[in-house]
Amino acid sequence: MVLSKEAVDAYKVLLTNPKNNNLPIEPITDVIVKSDTVIAQHILFKDFLSYLHSKLPNADLPKVIFYILLEEIFGPCTGKDETGCAGYHLKVNQIS
């Protein structure tokens, strides 16, 4: 995969407006919600990927694209988790 603005924009469209693209997932802004505690970026990625694979088993989401979208949609990292890893005051909402 070539990392380009077009690739990031394509993933952003799919993840922010999945119904418009006939995808059986909720928008990323409904799946990732505010949290009282900081969750490390890599944990958010793992949890979001688990959600995504529960709906689309063969979906591919490169970690770098996810990190770029986190910053574009939710802003820059807001803190560090209890182990010192960079993260956000966000969590993956348990949507079924």
Give per-residue pLDDT as tens, 15-45: 999 999 999 999 999 999 999 999 999 999 9
Predicted TM-score (pTM) of this structure: 0.92
Residues 35, 89 contacting (CB under 8 angstroms): yes
In DSSP terms, which residues pair with 39 in a beta bridge?
A: 88
Which is nearest to 62 in space by CA: 53, 44, 49, 75? 49
Residue 5 has pLDDT above 90, yes or no: yes
